[in-house]
A = this chain, B = another copy of it.
Amino acid sequence: MERLLDTELKKLKEKLLVMGGSVESQLEDVLRALTKRDSDLAIRVVENDLRINKFDVEIDETCLKLLALHQPTAGDLRFITTAMKISTELERMSDLAENIAERAIELNKEPQLKPYIDIPRMADWTIRMVKECLDAFVERDPALARKVCRDDDFIDDLTEQLFRELVSFMLEDPRTITRAIRLTFIGKYYERIADHATNIAELVVYMVEGKIIRHMSPERSEEEGGAAAVPS
């Protein structure tokens, strides 16, 4: 017979996955809002953030209830505290999608500065990292989680490349400065979403192996001390 706690943990995992799916949709929508210059869609992304926040609150409450009622130990305990933290990371990704949507709305009011090439690549790469870190969580797969951590380096490289290009635009024609700064911020937002995916991946390794791999890599970007340098 299945323990009551197992049933509850299964429900918790499902809720986290639904939340993760909603965050992925937000990321897909905001990329479309930017590349198709669809400000109505960007507004919907901003509005949808409230739904994601509600998920975060509910998951937090569920975790506290499980801790209080079932007094779990060992693996179950670690699963629940990991779920609480993953939910916070997902909620912050959604906040960043909202930030991208706000910049997109501003950008859509002006002529497009340049064809968006790097940003869709960053977005696709980031969305894949989000999918994979959640798969790693569900499958308890530390190898996949480690792959996500490694993939973060590529996003850092892309961010730096984007900066260089945008600075050259600004130098050539100062009228591009405002738009170029907005795009620079969007690059930074994607970099940070990728960092949150990496945080989740590190939490998964810890949950499965009990090994702390965060704070270990010298190559982490934003908020991990290795933020892509501003090109000179």
Q: Which residues of A contact B (CB under 8 A)?
A: 46, 49-50, 53-54, 56-57, 63-64, 67-68, 71, 73-74, 77-78, 81, 84-85, 88, 92, 95-96, 98-99, 102-103, 106, 163, 167, 170-171, 174, 177-178, 181-182, 184-185, 188, 192, 212, 214-215, 222-225, 227, 229-232
Contacts and interface: CB of A to CB of B under 8 A. Distances in A.
A44 to B, nearest CB: 13
Dominant secondary structure at the A interface: helix
Nearest to A212: B57
Q: How many copies does the complex hold?
A: 2
A201 B225 CA distance: 24
A83 to B, nearest CB: 12
A63 B85 CA distance: 14
Given A85-B88, A225-B49, A178 B215 contact: no
Given A54-B215, A57-B215, A64-B81, 13 more contacts: A49-B225, A63-B81, A81-B81, A84-B84, A92-B223, A95-B222, A95-B223, A95-B224, A95-B225, A102-B227, A167-B178, A181-B181, A192-B223
B223 A96 contact: yes
Nearest to A57: B212
A174 B181 contact: no
